[in-house]
Structure 1
Amino acid sequence: MIASVALSMALSPPLLIFMQKGILPYFGTRRVAEPERESDVQNDHPEIILAGFGRFGHPIVRLLRTVGRCPTVLEMDSDHLDFLRRMGATC
């Protein structure tokens, strides 16, 4: 049993390298280049910067919009911001 564990541990790295270099380039998925997107920046001179537009950021933006302020939102998930723009939730 110890010999089989030692043999499998010794052979795993070379087999993984062989798989990545020899097999996956021919049978793996290929990434398609994404089209160039326009800049997401809508306000070049922000008064308020909000990091995150999740459960806590969304109500804060709504509160700021009611008092006439439009914050610049920093969000990692661009798909989430695109969805919110379509729903009219951003400034």
Structure 2
Amino acid sequence: MFQPSMKAEIRKLLGSDKLIIGTDRCMKLLRTGELKQVLVASNCQASVREDVEHYSKQTGAEVVVLDVPNEELGVFCKKPFNINVLGIRA
């Protein structure tokens, strides 16, 4: 399950433009240094996780691997699809 602090932070940011949903959008913003934190689902593909970790080292963004699968992350964010990566803008 979610860590309580992370759950509260995601819930707070859900309606704002600071929460970025999706691998492609997050990777684009991560490469340009616009994200301060990247949240990765527990069952995210290894190649995606490696890319996120690589670019986060270059930009200084924090990577948090959640103990929640992508299906549950999609339900929590009230989306009809699975979510592998979430980003939080700086």
Fold similarity call, TM over 0.5: no
More strand by share: 2
* Greater relative contact order (Cα < 8 A, sep 6+): 2
Q: TM-score, normalised by structure 2?
A: 0.28
Q: TM-score, normalised by structure 1?
A: 0.28
Structure with higher Rg: it is 1
More helix by share: 1
